[in-house]
Amino acid sequence: MKLLPFLTVPGVLLLVVAPAVSAADVYQFDPRHTYASFAADHMGGLSTWRGKFARSSGHVTLDRKAHTGTVYAVIDPASVQTGNAPLDAELQSDEFFDVPKYPAIIYRGTQIRFVGAVPEEVIGTLTMHGVTRPVNLHLDSFKCIMHPVLLREVCGADATAQIDRADFGIDFGKAAGFRTLTRIELQVEAQKQ
């Protein structure tokens, strides 16, 4: 039985920064605390399939005084994990992510919108399965602390977005009634460099 794909935040969300402003700080993703996950429909509402990508990388630039920033993330679609090995293999196949042909999912955030002093949204594009589309990430939470073990500033965020996987050429099951809207959730912790 085939299941539905998800949009990975490519390869693993790898955040890369655009040209940095002199006051901007750079934060490198911590791969042990950064995951992209998804929730996708199975059989037109019969159930929801969930999975995550175990490998991702990236970085963020952030200038809190100027209220600006960028994000670059790469997700490895070959690292998809649903708890169902046959489904994982199917998601890597040409019916979904087509990993041999498209080995990375990439998110490029060109602007971070602030509300007051807090980042609230990332404006950017997602490239998956050879297609690039605008995708904005809503930041459900954002926090920075001086890490008690690492002894450096660490920032973390939980971000969400919704995409239509068919817009990226991944429309398996659509003709059979599968819903192609897919929820993406990103859990990121990044260390100041």
> Which domains, and CATH codes, for the chain?
25-192 (2.40.128.110)
At 22 the pLDDT is: 52
CB-based contacts of 124: which residues, under 8 Å, 6+ apart? 71, 107, 108, 109, 110, 111, 134, 135, 136, 137
Q: What is the mean pLDDT of each run of 10 residues along the chain (193 residues)?
A: 39 38 85 96 94 97 96 98 97 97 98 96 98 98 95 97 98 93 97 97
pTM: 0.86
Show the beta-strand stretches assigned E in 93-180: 105-115, 118-128, 131-134, 137-146, 153-164
What Å distances lie between residue 30 and 23, 38, 132, 151, CA to CA?
22, 20, 25, 14
Q: pLDDT tens for residues 146-186?
A: 999 999 999 999 999 999 999 999 999 999 999 999 999 99
Query: Contact 17/26 with Cβ under 8 angstroms?
Result: yes
Pick left, alpha or beta for residue 16 (phi over 0 → left; psi -120 to 50 → alpha; otherwise beta). Answer: beta
Angle formed at CA 9 by CA 34 and CA 122, multiple of 5 degrees: 85
At 35 the pLDDT is: 94
Dist. CA 9–CA 97, nearest whole Å = 11
Dist. CA 109–CA 71, nearest whole Å = 4
Nearest CA among 117, 77, 83 for reference residue 99: 77
At 23 the pLDDT is: 82
Query: Contact 138/118 with Cβ under 8 angstroms?
Result: no
